[in-house]
């Protein structure tokens, strides 16, 4: 199939005003009757053929304006329906299709999860239900009638508001009718039918509209929905306060299902969730799970405006809804929790997921120009870098113009399908700024490299700062143009305070932001009384790699004095990274590993600094991961050397601060009943990080402390942290702990997922064989994406040394899994396959092994479009 190109976009020749669906649910023979009201669009010549999308469909009936169509008037194939000469005037088309939900293992379109019928239509799943103009710029008003056996599916849900329900006389069947008054694209269609429990609540919007809220889950899980419901109500209130967005239906329903390809889906009025992002109780969910649930519930809810009321003109504009909605959920979390800690967590995620994507063969612009399979573009670049671009826009235009621009966007484009140009025009108008250069952030792939150097002249009392930028060549993209990069900054004086200066020349400074717009700029600050240390890129004001000429002294100074908590953390990370890169090179060369003592001392100060909140200290003490170090090294990567370096530094820290860490563990031991709030979670994070150091400190009772925590933990966060340390450090008792964990949580699949992940991420020679064995565990199921991700994806992305073994056993394991999965669920297979994306950065022996595994995958002729797209790009 030909790639789809942004430049080829044309509006559809026909529009669909209303869609009436009548769906009779049956496990293997569901009948879907779709009545579409169609009309020619302006500019479409009368008689222009109508081509509807399909995917694996079986047509069982077709009528035009109430009369069956003769076979000569149309052609039906599984993947398209052609109407050769439609009427010139608006007309009704009735299409009947037959589906087999039970055999739908791709989990796109209509499928069954543990007996519940449910749907996933984004991006192109609606065409697996009926023939349609399955593209996001065709907006219609939907009415959905569902019919199913009452005992199998007492609950019948669809988009919008419930308008009718009843029994079918003389049968065991019943029906429900739902009407959604808001025009929407087909990808937002959803239905759910099953035997589910319901937890209800109520929210009154600021204009007084009462909304019935409900979360539907498997029976017996009702008491695990409280956190999700609280998160939903907070999201609804926050969106009114922060963006003026009010809810617009009488009901808001959330359904949790156990088989789901991604996190959740924002279907209008009927969000469908991976149960992992709904269910929580202290015994089975970690603090991270609680935080994720809060964020994902908010994200899907926020889509009601950014995505649903205003949708995307075409799939190239995906970041219009995703980047913006991620930005919104990040802001929500910042307001609910600690803003700097949230920022640190988001930047960690961006650097560990998006930066490598942007540096390898899968790199693409935030708004791609072409795709072969759109499902492969739900990426960290579209989501996370997309959010960074919105954040920069806010810095650029300022808070007030940002809010006016958003108001304008929401007003002007309501009930339409919009583009990035439409979005940016609102901010240009609200601020009076020219955003032409800024728009390049949507067009150019790759992470800009910013280099900073400075010179202080004591006689002239000037401080000259030179900044330059360069876009590395990635994924076939030519030389880039300079981007508009906002660099938030301060000059810090010897007393640790931000310094004043008289004025600047070089023109690029406004307030605390330097606007880097050229390839290279020098800004001269005058009236600077002493040599300052510049604190650059505060709050990570732009998604760039920053290389400064700050020496270790300056960086240590920043770790102690930077008034911006984010940059304080960044200084720690920079020191750690420099040392880890140096130690990795030493390990690769077989030289002795001697960690930097000054850095180790500085970490001790942070650990002891009670003025810093616990969550922040935990982030500071958490060293860059192995993949982060690999990314910094960039080429000829040897994961074993990296692990050796990181282990050496961890041990040095542990030996220097073992007692302080042990004290921290004791001080922060829980004294009250578990609460998932951010402050308590922060204390647990610090305690568990300290416990990890204790474990490698050589202290005599180290192992006992870890085992004690495992045995006595009253919550999953502490239990899992202890288990991970036991297993990863190979402490005696690890096997018993694994067995105990398994027994305790045997009936709880989401907890067993954690048990899979702990074992899959263990950096030990035996791990590939262990992972293979675990695929035969009774709790494992190749058909369930959560199981696959927690075992196989966790191995591929969270176990650098074992995935990239020199003997190729890790790559082989993952390649086999990809091939096995691909026949069943192409999206999940393609996602797993993308773990290979950084293979070219490996040292030659490992790189050749990876390449061979990729070629084995590529050799399968019947590979899905999804996997073919990824493997081809990886090998390009
Ligand atoms: N919009 C969905 C993602 C759909 C993925 C399709 N392959 C969830 C979200 O981003 O909110
Ligand atoms: Zn989203």
Q: How far is the CA of 684 from the centre of ligand 2 (A)?
A: 29
**Residue 476 has what pLDDT?**
82
Confidence of residue 215 (pLDDT cuts 50, 70, 90): very high
Q: How far is CA 795 from each of CA 378, 762, 771, 802, rounded to the nearest angstrom?
A: 21, 9, 8, 8
Q: Is the CB of 378 under 6 A from ligand 1?
A: yes
- Are 786 and 805 found together in one domain? yes
At 328, which CATH number?
1.10.390.10
Task: Specify if 212 maps to a domain.
Answer: no
- Are 432 and 497 found together in one domain? no
**Which pLDDT tens digit goes with each residue over 647-704?**
999 999 999 999 999 999 999 999 899 999 999 999 999 999 999 999 999 999 999 9
Report percent pLDDT > 70 for the chain: 100
Q: Is 799 exposed, middle or buried (0-12, 13-18, 19+ CB in 10 A)?
A: buried
Nearest CA, atom 5, ligand 1: 122
Nearest CA, atom 8, ligand 1: 265
CA distance 245 to 329: 14
Nearest CA, atom 7, ligand 1: 375
**Which pLDDT tens digit goes with each residue over 581-618?**
999 999 999 999 999 999 999 999 999 999 999 999 99
246 catalytic per annotation: no
Task: Specify if 475 maps to a domain.
Answer: yes
Nearest CA, atom 9, ligand 1: 265
ipTM over 0.95: yes
**Which pLDDT tens digit goes with each residue over 264-299?**
999 999 999 999 999 999 999 999 999 999 999 999
**Which pLDDT tens digit goes with each residue over 36-80?**
999 999 999 999 999 999 999 999 999 999 999 999 999 999 999
Q: Is the CB of 525 under 6 A from ligand 1?
A: no
- Are 624 and 646 found together in one domain? yes
Q: Is the CB of 379 under 6 A from ligand 1?
A: no
- Are 371 and 493 found together in one domain? no
Q: Is 700 exposed, middle or buried (0-12, 13-18, 19+ CB in 10 A)?
A: exposed
Q: Is the CB of 122 under 6 A from ligand 1?
A: yes
**Residue 853 has what pLDDT?**
98
Q: How far is the CA of 528 from the centre of ligand 1 (A)?
A: 50
**Which pLDDT tens digit goes with each residue over 375-410?**
999 999 999 999 999 999 999 999 999 999 999 999
- Are 51 and 86 found together in one domain? yes
**Which pLDDT tens digit goes with each residue over 452-477?**
999 999 999 999 999 999 999 887 88
- Are 538 and 548 found together in one domain? no
Q: How far is CA 375 from each of CA 80, 125, 312, 318, 529, rounded to the nearest angstrom?
A: 20, 11, 15, 11, 56
CA distance 360 to 874: 8
The tokens describing 229, both together, are 């419901």
Q: What is the three-class DSSP state of 825?
A: coil
Task: Specify if 25 maps to a domain.
Answer: yes
Q: How far is the CA of 359 from the centre of ligand 2 (A)?
A: 24
Does 1 score more than 80 pLDDT?
no
The tokens describing 858, both together, are 């590529």
At 54, which CATH number?
2.60.40.1730
Q: How far is CA 432 from each of CA 388, 402, 406, 429, 700, rounded to the nearest angstrom?
A: 21, 11, 14, 5, 66
Q: Nearest 5°: CA angle at 828, between 827 and 831?
A: 85
CA distance 264 to 465: 46
CA distance 642 to 638: 6
DSSP state of 369: S
CA distance 551 to 661: 29
Phi, psi of 872, deg, nearest 5: -65, -45
- Are 568 and 694 found together in one domain? yes
Contact 6, 316 (CB under 8 A): yes
Q: Which ligand is nearest to the CA of 830?
A: 1
The count of structural domains within the chain is: 5
Task: Specify if 43 maps to a domain.
Answer: yes
Q: What is the DSSP string of 611-672?
A: TS-HHHHHHHHSPPPHHHHHHHH-SSB-HHHHHHHHHHHHHHHHHHHHHHHHHHHHHTS--S
- Mean pLDDT lowest among 501-510, 548-557, 561-570, 754-763: 501-510
CA distance 587 to 574: 20
Contacts of 771 (CB under 8 A, 6+ apart): 759, 760, 791, 792, 795, 813
At 804, which CATH number?
1.25.50.10
Task: Specify if 737 maps to a domain.
Answer: no
Does 538 score more than 90 pLDDT?
yes
Contact 628, 797 (CB under 8 A): no
- Are 502 and 552 found together in one domain? no
Closest-lying ligand 1 atom to the alpha carbon of residue 296: 11
- Are 393 and 512 found together in one domain? no
- Are 408 and 508 found together in one domain? no
- The strand pair at 503-505 and 520-526 is best described as antiparallel
Q: Is the CB of 322 under 6 A from ligand 1?
A: yes
Mean pLDDT for the chain overall = 98
The tokens describing 74, both together, are 């149309």
Exposure string for 410-447, b = 16+ CB within 10 A, e = fewer: beebeeebbbbebbbbbbbbbbebebeebbbbbbbbbb
Pocket test for ligand 1, best of 189, 265, 307 (most atoms within 8 A of CB): 265
Q: Is the CB of 299 under 6 A from ligand 1?
A: yes
Q: Is the CB of 262 under 6 A from ligand 1?
A: yes
The domain boundary residue, chosen from 397, 425, 443 = 443
The domain boundary residue, chosen from 386, 413, 443 = 443
Unique residue bearing structure tokens 């004043």 = 500
At 512, which CATH number?
2.60.40.1840
- Are 409 and 513 found together in one domain? no
CA distance 627 to 633: 10
**Which pLDDT tens digit goes with each residue over 345-361?**
999 999 999 999 999 99
Task: Specify if 201 maps to a domain.
Answer: no
Q: What is the three-class DSSP state of 838?
A: coil
**Which pLDDT tens digit goes with each residue over 543-564?**
999 999 999 999 999 999 999 9
Q: How far is the CA of 296 from the centre of ligand 1 (A)?
A: 11
The domain boundary residue, chosen from 660, 682, 699 = 699
**Residue 379 has what pLDDT?**
98
Q: Is the CB of 628 under 6 A from ligand 1?
A: no
Phi, psi of 109, deg, nearest 5: 85, -145
CA distance 486 to 488: 6
Pocket test for ligand 1, best of 273, 322, 825 (most atoms within 8 A of CB): 322
Unique residue bearing structure tokens 């020349």 = 505
Q: How far is CA 701 from each of CA 61, 652, 696, rounded to the nearest angstrom?
A: 74, 18, 11
Pocket test for ligand 1, best of 266, 315, 869 (most atoms within 8 A of CB): 266
The interaxial angle of helices 226-243 and 287-302, nearest 10 deg, is: 50
Write out the H or E segment, with its range, that includes residue 387.
helix 386-397
Task: Specify if 804 maps to a domain.
Answer: yes
Q: What is the DSSP string of 422-442?
A: HHHHHHHHHH----TTTTHHH
Unique residue bearing structure tokens 């222009």 = 48
Task: Specify if 362 maps to a domain.
Answer: yes
Beta bridge partners of 504: 525
Q: Is the CB of 375 under 6 A from ligand 1?
A: yes
Phi, psi of 515, deg, nearest 5: -100, 105
Range of the domain at 647: 544-699
Given 124, 266, 300, 574, the catalytic residue: 300
- Model-level pTM? 0.99
- Are 499 and 585 found together in one domain? no
Closest-lying ligand 1 atom to the alpha carbon of residue 264: 8
Contacts of 204 (CB under 8 A, 6+ apart): 210, 211
Nearest CA, atom 1, ligand 1: 265
**Residue 507 has what pLDDT?**
77
How many beta carbons lie within 10 A of that of residue 556, not counting itself?
A: 20
Mapping DSSP onto H, E and C, the string for 520-553 reads EEEEEEECCCCCCEEEECHHHCCCCEEEECCCHH
Q: How far is the CA of 321 from the centre of ligand 1 (A)?
A: 10
């Amino acid at each position: 199939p030909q790639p789809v190109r942004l430049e080829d976009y044309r509006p559809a020749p026909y529009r669909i005003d209303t869609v009436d669906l009548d769906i009779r649910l049956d496990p293997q023979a569901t009948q879907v009757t779709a009545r579409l009201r169609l009309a020619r669009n302006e500019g479409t010549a009368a008689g222009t053929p109508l081509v509807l999308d399909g995917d694996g469909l079986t047509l069982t009936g077709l009528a035009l304006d109430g009369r069956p169509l003769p076979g000569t008037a149309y052609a039906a194939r599984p993947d398209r329906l052609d109407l050769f000469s439609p009427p010139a005037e608006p007309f009704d088309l009735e299409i009947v299709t037959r589906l087999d939900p039970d055999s739908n293992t791709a989990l796109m379109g209509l499928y069954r999860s543990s007996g519940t019928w449910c749907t996933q239509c984004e991006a192109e799943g609606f065409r697996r239900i009926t023939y349609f103009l399955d593209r996001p710029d065709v907006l219609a008003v939907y009415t959905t009638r569902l019919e199913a056996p009452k005992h199998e599916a007492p609950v019948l849900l669809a988009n919008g508001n419930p308008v009718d329900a009843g029994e079918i006389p003389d049968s065991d069947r019943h029906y429900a009718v739902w009407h959604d008054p808001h025009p929407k694209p087909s990808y937002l269609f959803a239905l759910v039918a099953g035997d589910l429990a319901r937890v209800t609540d109520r929210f009154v919007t600021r204009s007084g509209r009462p909304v019935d809220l409900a979360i539907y889950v498997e029976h017996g899980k009702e008491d695990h929905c409280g956190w999700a419901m609280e998160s939903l109500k907070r999201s609804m209130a926050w969106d009114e306060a922060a963006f003026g967005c009010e809810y617009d239906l009488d009901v808001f329903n959330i359904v949790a299902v156990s088989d789901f390809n991604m996190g959740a889906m924002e279907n209008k009025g009927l969000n469908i969730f991976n149960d992992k992002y709904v269910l929580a109780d202290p015994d089975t969910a970690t603090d991270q799970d609680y935080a994720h649930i809060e964020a994902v519930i908010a994200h899907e809810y926020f889509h009601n405006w950014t995505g649903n009321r205003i949708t995307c003109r075409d799939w190239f504009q995906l970041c219009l809804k995703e980047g913006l909605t991620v930005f919104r959920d990040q802001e929500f979390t910042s307001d609910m929790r600690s803003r700097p800690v949230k920022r640190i967590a988001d930047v960690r995620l961006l650097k560990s997921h998006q930066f490598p994507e942007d540096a390898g063969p899968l790199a693409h612009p935030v708004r791609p120009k072409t795709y072969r399979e759109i499902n492969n573009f739900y990426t960290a670049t579209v989501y996370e870098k997309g959010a960074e671009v919105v954040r920069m826009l806010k810095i650029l235009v300022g808070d007030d113009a940002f809010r006016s621009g958003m108001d304008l966007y929401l007003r002007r484009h309501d009930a339409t399908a919009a583009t990035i140009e439409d979005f940016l025009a609102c901010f240009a108008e609200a601020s009076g700024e020219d955003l032409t250069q800024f728009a390049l952030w949507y067009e150019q792939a790759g992470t800009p490299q910013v280099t900073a150097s400075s010179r202080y002249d004591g006689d002239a009392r000037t401080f000259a700062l030179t900044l330059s930028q360069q876009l590395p060549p990635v994924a076939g993209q030519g030389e880039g143009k300079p981007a508009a990069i906002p660099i938030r900054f301060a000059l810090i004086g010897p007393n640790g305070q931000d310094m004043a200066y008289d004025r600047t020349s070089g023109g690029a400074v406004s307030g605390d932001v330097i606007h880097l717009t050229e390839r290279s700029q020098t800004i001269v600050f005058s009236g600077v009384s002493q040599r300052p240390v510049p604190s650059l890129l505060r709050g990570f004001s732009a998604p760039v790699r920053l290389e400064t000429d700050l020496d270790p002294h300056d960086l240590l100074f920043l770790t102690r004095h930077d008034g911006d908590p984010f940059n304080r953390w960044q200084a720690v990370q920079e020191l750690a990274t420099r040392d880890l890169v140096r130690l990795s090179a030493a390990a690769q060369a077989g030289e002795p590993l001697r960690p930097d003592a000054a850095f180790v001392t500085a970490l001790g100060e942070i650990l002891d600094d009670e003025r810093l909140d616990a969550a922040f200290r935990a982030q500071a003490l958490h060293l860059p991961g192995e993949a982060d170090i690999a990314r910094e090294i960039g080429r000829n990567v040897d994961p074993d050397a990296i692990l050796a370096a990181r282990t050496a530094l961890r041990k040095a820290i542990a030996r220097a601060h073992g007692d302080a860490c042990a004290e921290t563990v004791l001080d922060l031991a829980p004294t009250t009943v578990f609460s998932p709030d951010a402050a308590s979670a922060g204390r647990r994070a610090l305690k568990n990080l300290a416990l990890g150091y204790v474990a490698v400190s050589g202290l005599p009772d180290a192992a006992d402390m870890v085992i004690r925590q495992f045995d006595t933990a009253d919550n999953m966060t502490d239990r899992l942290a202890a288990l991970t340390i036991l297993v990863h450090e190979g402490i005696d008792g690890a096997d018993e702990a694994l067995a105990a964990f398994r027994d305790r949580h045997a009936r709880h699949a989401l907890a067993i997922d954690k048990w899979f992940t702990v074992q899959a991420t263990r950096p030990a020679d035996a791990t590939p064989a262990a992972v293979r064995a675990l695929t035969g565990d009774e709790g494992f199921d190749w058909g369930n994406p959560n199981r696959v991700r927690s075992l196989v994806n966790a191995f591929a992305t969270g176990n650098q040394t074992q995935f990239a073994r020199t003997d190729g056993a890790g790559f082989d394991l993952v390649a086999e899994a990809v091939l096995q999965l691909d026949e069943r669920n192409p999206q999940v297979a393609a996602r797993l396959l993308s773990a290979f994306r950084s293979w070219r950065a490996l040292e030659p022996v490992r790189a050749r092994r990876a390449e061979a595994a990729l070629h084995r995958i590529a050799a399968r002729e019947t590979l899905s479009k999804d996997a073919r797209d990824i493997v081809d790009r990886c090998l390009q």
